[in-house]
Structure formats: C-alpha cells, structure tokens
Amino acid sequence: LIELDRAHLVHPVSSYRGHEQQGVRVLTSAKGATVVDSRGRQLVDGFAGLWCVNAGYGHESIVEAAARQMRDLPYATAYFGLGSEPAIRLAAELADRAPGDLNHIYFTLGGSDAVDSTVRFIRFYWHARGEPQRDQFISIEQGYHGSSTVGAGLTALPNFHAGFGIPFDWQHKIPSPYPYRNPVGEDGNAIIQASLAALRAKVDTIGANRVAAFYAEPIQGSGGVIVPPSGWMKAMRGLCKELDILFVADEVITGFGRTGPLFACTEDEIVPDFITAAKGLTSGYVPMGAVFMADHVYQVIADGAGTSAVGHGYTYSAHPVSAAVGLEVLKLYEGGLLENGLRAGKRLMAGLESLKDHPLVGDVRGRGMLAAIELVADKAAKTPLPAEAQPSRRIFDRAWENGLVIRAFANGVLGYAPPLCCTDADIDAIIERTAKTLDQTLE
C-alpha cells in the first residue's frame, strides 16, 4: 500500500512537503472514538478524522439509513425542479433548528463548495438589489474557508495561496482577534474594539458601497483554534448590519455540536445572513455541505431570478444518500450525543488546563469539543518554538506512536476535536498521551 500510494495517490497538503518519504499510514477500521491502523495499533482519534466524525465511528443506524436510501433511490438531481424526500426533509429539519430566519438551505458536497456557493449567491443578491458594484469580500487573517480557488482566496493561510495568484483583488482581510497574540493585549473588550475599527477602516478604504460581505468563523479552526473573546461575533455582526454588509458565519467546523449546540451562532447570540456548514452535518460518513440563507436574502434572490439568471448547482447537490445520513445523524445528536459532547468537552478542557504548567504549554483554549494548546519556547515572552524544534510532523508522529491522533499545526499549536461520543476513558487517554508526547518533545 505504501508503494502504491507513493506512486499514484496525490495528497497535496502533505506529500509536497516530502512526507511521502515516510509513507502513508493506513486506517483499517474504527469504532466509537477509536481508530485502528494497518499494523493493528489502536488510537484514540482526538481529531475526529478532520474535525468531522462528530458522532463517532461505527453507528449501525447510520449505515442502515445509507443502505436503505441506496436501495430505494441512490440518486436524484436537484436540477429541473426535481428533488428527493430525504433532501427535502433534511432541509426542513435543519431550517427548524437553525438560528432565526435562516430557513432556506442549499446542499453542497462539502465546505469549500458551500463557501463558493455563498459568494455566488451574494453576488446574485447584490445584482438583484440593483447594486452590482458590491463585489468586494472581506475575511480574516488566520481564517480558513476552503481550498477551492475562490474559497482559498478567502482563506488566509499563505500555503493555500502559493503559486495560484490568489487572493483575488476583490478578497480582503482584517487582522485576527487572536487573544494570545493580539497587539492590543488579551483584554476582550480591547480586542473587540480593535476588530470593529479594522473592519470600519477596511470598508472605508474599499468604499462603503463596494463591500458585499464579511466572513467569520465563530472559532477560527485551521488557523489554530483561535477563540475570539465573548461578544466578538455579536459586535461584528452588529457592525455589518449597520454598514449593510452581508454577514457569513462559516460553521463548517463549529457546527453540529463541535462547540456544544448544533450552531455556535446560537451561543454567540447572533443570526447571520448566511451560515455555511459541512463536516458534522453527515459526521463524515458521506460528503455533504450546506448553505443556510436568511429569509430576506432568499426573497431578494428568488425575486431577482427572472431578471438576471445565474446558473449554479452541482451534480451531487442534495444527494439523497447524504441527506438520509444527515437525518439519522441529527437524530443521534439530539438523542444524547450533543449532551455527551458537552460533558466530555468539560473534561477535555479541564484535562488540557491541567497541562498548563508544562514548560512547553503557552496557551490553552477552546469551547466544547474544540480545543488547542499552543506550544512556546518561553512562556513569559510567548516566544514561538524555534523552527527546528517544532516540526509538527514529528509531534504528530510521536502522538501516533503513543496511540493518539491529534492535529499538529505548523505554528506549534496542537488541535483537538474528538468525537462527541467520547467516554471519560477516551478523554483521559487523550490527556495522558498528550502529556507523554509533550515530555518526549522536551527531551
């Protein structure tokens, strides 16, 4: 398998960095929060795959739901006014639970195309409102919004831009509200004021009547699990309303129980104009993403459809098998998984906090089952680990040898997003194996 993988399977994020020398690691089975590799090693999956297997592995009821739908109707297009029962029912169930009036749902295959779809819907919206010059988009440093070409331009991680001529000139960024490393310090109110001022200044520079939308993650995931101060989302949402800029909450990671409820926006007490979701929507069993649109946005787009048609849609939009899985996963979340996630999340955060005195640990942060520790060379000065001491791959490898899957970001951040089904023993194993990995990193 290692040879075949090297010869034929492309892994852009890892293999271009030379990781193929070491060879692929192959997972063969999984149950609950435990994955098994081809050498028979059992590991606790502290990252739920790629922050997606929120329900955990091996749920027979999900398998049944998918198999039943494959037998009954494996495919139906959402083009030409056609549809399928599970897609319609899932849209209705989601609209019922989404914040405020986010009642209109467009299904995609994952997060990147959900983000791309918002860009198209938003352009269409401003055309229909007679303001087509509103074609400028603002997102945030350290933000991640996908690796399609448009999504990668909204993403602010430079390795997703290199060589592609992105971001486009209509894609702008403001600084991240990164409490641990914010130039204004760690005070929440000061950070909120700085972000508000940065957004105002950016809008002034671009031109108030040119800005179409602002994108924010409730917690910045791929940038290193950066948790903005409490009240930050609400303040930014309020300013966007004041400036008549559409607000997109990218909940691809935070949605579906990752931070506690089905939508992190609920905790943030906001109703955005759009939510993008994926990952936990189908818990990784099959691909699916979703765009949630507010009533007032949908009405403008629907009313404008006759005058300036914009074709948009994917072959696998609203896929019936994915929708059937989505419906079953939703039942599981509400049948106890969300609750278990909240309980396990408290244990996870307490466990990570208990590592705070470790000489390498500079910061511990998170919400629910989404957490990180940031490793530093000097705690007082918050000095990042020197480049040669923070080969994230080595920490990842060590953790793997210790029976733990975590995300080791290049900037010395270790990310945690375990399945919501974790038992106390799973969480304790995550903490113990992290502590062991950190001790070995010190040696």
Contacts with ligand PMP by CB under 6 A lie at 110-112, 115, 144-146, 217, 221-222, 250, 252-253, 278
> In this complex, which beta carbon is closest to ligand PMP, that of residue 217 or of residue 374?
217
**Cis link prior to 167 (omega < 30° from 0)?**
yes
The percent of the chain in helix, strand and coil, each rounded to the nearest 5, is 45, 15, 40
Judge whether 242 and 167 are in contact, CB under 8 Å.
no
All residues at 6 or more sequence positions from 299 whose CB lies less than 8 Å from its CB, including other chains: none
Output the residue with the shortest Cβ distance to ligand PMP: 111
Q: C-beta of 45: minimal distance to ligand PMP in Å?
A: 16
Nearer Cβ to ligand PMP (51/124): 51
Assigned token pair, 288: 């699916």
Q: How far is the CB of 229 from ligand PMP (least distance, A)?
A: 19
Give every CB contact of residue 129 below 8 A, 6+ residues apart in sequence. 300, 304
Q: State in angstroms the smallest separation of the CB of 415 from ligand PMP.
A: 11
In the complex, the smallest distance separating the C-beta of residue 276 from ligand PMP, rounded to whole angstroms, is: 6
Nearest to ligand PMP of 288, 399 (CB atom): 288
Give the shortest CB-349-to-ligand PMP separation in angstroms. Answer: 20
**Residue closer to ligand PMP, measured from CB, 109 or 376:** 109
The H or E element that residue 81 is part of is: none
Counts for the chain of helices (H) and strands (E), in that order:
15, 16
CB closer to ligand PMP out of 284 and 351: 284
Give 249's strand partners. Answer: 216, 275
> Position 50: which residue type?
L
Q: In a 3-state reduction of DSSP, which class is residue 93?
A: helix
Q: Give the orientation angle of helix 85-97 with respect to helix 320-332, to 10 degrees.
A: 40
Nearest distance in Å: CB 217, ligand PMP: 5
DSSP 175-222: ----GGG-TT-S-HHHHHHHHHHHHHHHHHHH-GGGEEEEEE-SSB-T
CA angle, 16 as apex, 181 and 22 as ends, to 5°? 100
Quick check: helix, strand or coil at residue 381?
coil
Q: Which of 248, 242, 244 is nearest to 143 (CA)?
A: 248
Q: How far is the CB of 151 from ligand PMP (least distance, A)?
A: 6
State the Cα–Cα distance between residues 152 and 161, nearest whole angstrom.
7
- Least distance (Å) between residue 144 CB and ligand PMP: 5
Q: Of the two residues 229 and 287, which places its CB atom closer to ligand PMP in the complex?
A: 287
Cβ nearer to ligand PMP, comparing 249 with 427:
249
Q: To the nearest whole angstrom, how small is the minimum distance from the Cβ of residue 114 to ligand PMP?
A: 7
Our CB check for ligand PMP shows the closer of 102 and 376 to be 102
Residue 336 DSSP label:
I
Nearest to 410 by CA among 10, 28, 17: 17
If the CB atoms of residues 142 and 222 are measured against ligand PMP, the closer one turns out to be: 222
